[in-house]
Structure formats: structure tokens, C-alpha cells
Chains A and B, each alone.
Chain A
Amino acid sequence: MTEITTGTETSKPATRLKVPSTAQQIPRLAHYQMRQYLQSRRFLALVVIVVAIGAIFSAVVAIYHSSFITSDSVSFYGGSWAGGVGVVIVLAAVFFGGDAIAGEFQNKTGYFLMSVPIRRATVYAGKFLAAFLTSVAIITIFFAIVLGNGIYYFGASAFPWQLFFSLPIVILYLLAVLGTTFLFSSLFKTSAYGFVLTIILFLFGFTILQDLVAILIKIEPWMVISYASGILSDLFSSPINWGLTATLGPVPAYDSPGIAEGVVIMLGYFILTAIAGLLLFEREEFK
């Protein structure tokens, strides 16, 4: 039966809501996305993993007092911080970026989010920002554990300058890894593919590729991100190659890029993967 409506019960005021600008929506979306991450089991799981890694590391150092770690603070921070943070970055990027885009399609949450007047680029940027900040929180936990050990063994005044110099490189490497993770997440509509591909590539795939390029093709593997990540450890070695060219190892292998070269590679990865991922997401349909 068609209901006959008589008159207006309540009329909406003539003023319309003003949708926030893109610049306002990005941090707002990131805020809610971060809240989801922080309330999720995966965040708790990653905290437990990082704390466990830190606890095992602390126990091993305390029990065995390996000389290469405890001889001086530069070696200590080079071995513990620079040696371990790469794995933490990859884990954080996979945990928080692996399904950031694919999950919206796979779990059908995209229909909820995209029913809001928001640009796809805003969604991409907001989610990226949330994944980045949450990853930084995880890295901070790892940093605190390393720092605690460092202070215990070398005191609160023995922080090598390399430790502080490594922080922006860590952030840049995180951006590059997250950019790649988001690209894979945009490429597949199934989260698992993105997860697996990122893990395989960053934990050993890129390293194998790097060696194959250097040994078989006999060129510097500047196009491989794992090669660039070598600058994190190189910062703590001596002498430091600051340049834009690689340090040659026993021919035909390449030891590692110069610091500047590594930074350029990481920056390139971040920019290119972020643009490619965004373009893919812009064209993806919620079928």
C-alpha cells in the first residue's frame, strides 16, 4: 500500500554539510585506520614478535658477550640496530600494508569506505599514512630495546653519530618497502598474494635477484631495493662510502652502494611504487 504523506514532518535546513578538503580527510582517515590497527590482533602479534626478538637478542648478548657486539658502541649498534631493523621494517610493512588495499576488495569493506564522498587518492594516502605511523611505532619499540641494551653495556653517553644518522634512512627504507607493499596490495584483490609476495621478495627474493644481476649480468644491481638497504649497515662500518657510486667487491660482485646512491634508490622505489600503486587503485572497480 502506498502511504500518503501529508505535509512535512521535519524539513532539513537549507545549509548543506561541507565535506572536508582532501588535506583534511587524509589525516582523519589515517587516524581511524590507525585506531583499527592499534585495536587489531595483528598489532598485538607484531609487538609480541618484536619484543620476543629483542628479548632473545638481549639474552644472547648477556650470556655470550660476543666480542664483535660488545667491543665498541659502533659495532654494537651496527650489529643490533642496523642488522635487525630491516626485518622489523619488512614485517611491519607486511602486517599493516599487505592487505591495506586488497583487503578493501576481498573483505568488502571497500563498499563501506567508498560510500563516503572521498577520492580514491585520499583513501590511498590516508591508509599509507596510517600504515607508516603504525610501523614507526613498531620500529620505535625495537629501537627502545636496542637502546636499552646499548645503555646497559656502554652507558647513556656512548651513542655513535651513525645511530642518529641512520634514523632518516630507516624512515626512507620503510617508505620504500611500504610503497612496494601497497603496490602489490593494489595489484591483487586477494590479500594473501600481497602478503606472500612481499615476504618472499623482501626476505630473500630481492637478495637472490641482486646476486644474479651482479654475478650473471655483471652490472651493479642498483635496481634492487635490498641492495640499497645495505647502506644501513655500511653506515656503521669504516671507511664509509658517501658517494653515488658503488663499492666494488671481488669482481664481478658489488659490495654495496654509496650512501647517497642508496638514498636515491630508496627514494626512487618509494616514489615510483607509490605512483604505480595509486594509479592501479584509481582504476580498480568494486565489482
Chain B
Amino acid sequence: MLVLAGSPGETYVDVVWRQIPVPRARAEIDTVADTRPVLAGALAQLQDPFRQQPERSPVAESQHGNGHNSHDHSHDTHDHDMGEHDMGGHGMHGHHMGGMQMPGGIVMADRAQDRDGLKLDVLHVPLGPILADWPAGLVVHTTLQGDVVQNASVEMFGKPGGYWTADRACARRLDSCGRLLAVAGWESAAMQARRLRDEVLSGRTDVRPAFDRWARRVRRSRVLHWSLTGLGEWEQADAAARLVRWIDQADTTLEGAAGEVDDARAILDALPGLMRGCELAGARLLLASLDPDTDQVIGRG
């Protein structure tokens, strides 16, 4: 099931929708009040075999649409990378194959210099907007050689939100922790963080014991600490230190005190520099450990 809350960009959504195998259902939620009926409707559609028949020839249609998209896109990223890399001929068809038409009108990977002075194949892998445990409305266009990020640039879009105000600081911190833990592959602790977040948001006051148990568990995890230490050194703190700070802040604001709000713009400006040279797993952990509140930036334009 594809659930949309807000507007993450129609073209992206359509691309992903075409990739989802049957059975599938699409639920677009615009207001909080809609949530229940829309989800129920989508669920009913999902369970009804007669409404799961394939639509008319989706293959040909998607081929066409995607082909165009790909070109628009490769030009965007292309322009950006030109400054630093020698990537001439990237937009051309069949650069490698002597003019042969490649399947889907997509070219083979081309080479570029890497940091060690070798010339190697480069893949353009945009991260976001539709990606699990990823900030809303954020796209990071990366170029990868192997699994190492050679270059990254940030793009933002969408409508302003502004949900995470100072008096929701505790839930906001728990939300960030949940995302970081999920990216770090600790499903169980991430789930607990998210449940705590929901309970705090719903105004429950008896969350303290559960919070303490969760906080102790996460703080004590050596494997987690060891995985995050030394990642994304920024403003005298690495990913592990930021996680501990988040937990501390969530701790002090748990009873409803207002907390501080990070400057998302500064984070986003620092992001490309931090990501460069990271392994893909490291880059994702790094972003999750900074967790910029993209709503802020979009809101300010």
C-alpha cells in the first residue's frame, strides 16, 4: 500500500506507484480527519481481488514517462557535477556502445576520476524523497563509485509544514532517535522510540518508566556506539555524541518543557561536505544523525 501524507511531489509518487506490484492500493491523506476513512478504503481495495486487475498496458505507458523523466533528470545532476568532474558525454546515448540504442533509452555508466586518481564507473543515485526513514521533501543527489559517495548535492521541495515546534521538542527528539536507530538497523529499539513518540504526542504522562528503560538500553549499547563513533564530525560532535544529546534533551523535555530547535539550514549546507567520501551506509547514518527538520527550510523558502 502506498500511503501519502501531504504532497511529496507528484512525479516521484507516480514513478514509485508504477513500481509497486499488484496487489496495491493508494491512499492520499490531506487532513488528519481523513486518515481513518482513506486508510480503510485503501485496505478494502487491497483485499478485493476484483479491484486488483492490472490497468491497461502499464508497461508501455510507464516506459514512455520514465524515459522522459530520466533525461530531464540526468541533465540536472549533470550540470551540477560538471564543475568538478570531467564527465563529458554523459547525456549522450550509447556513449560506450558506439551509438547502439540501450534498453529503455538509458545509458551505461560512465567513468570519472575518483579520489585516488583512478578513473572508474560512476552511478547517479538520488536519495529521497520517497525513501524509508528519510526527512520529508529532501533529495540528496549523490554520485557513487562502488559504495562510496563521491559527490552530493541537496535539493528541497514541497509545501511548508512547521509541525515540529519548540513545545513538541521531546517528541521531535524521539522521532529523530527512532529514525537514526532504524537506519542503524536496530528495528526493536527504533520501534520503541516511535511508540514513545506517539505516546508523548498524544499527551500521555506516564511514559517515564518506559522512556527510562529505552534510554538505558540505547545508551548502553556498545555495538551502536561503536558503529556511530567518528561518523559525521560536525560542530565538535559525531553521530554517537548527537544521539546521546538527543536522548538527554528528550529526557529533560519529557514532562512537557519547551526545548530548542536545530537550525536545519545550517545542517543542509554542511551536508554535501560531510557526505563526500563516506560509504553509503555511513552517509545514511550521518544524515539520520543530523536529521534536519526540512519543514523549517521549506517554510522559509
Asked if chains A and B come from one complex, the reply is no
Binding site for B on A (CB under 8 A): none
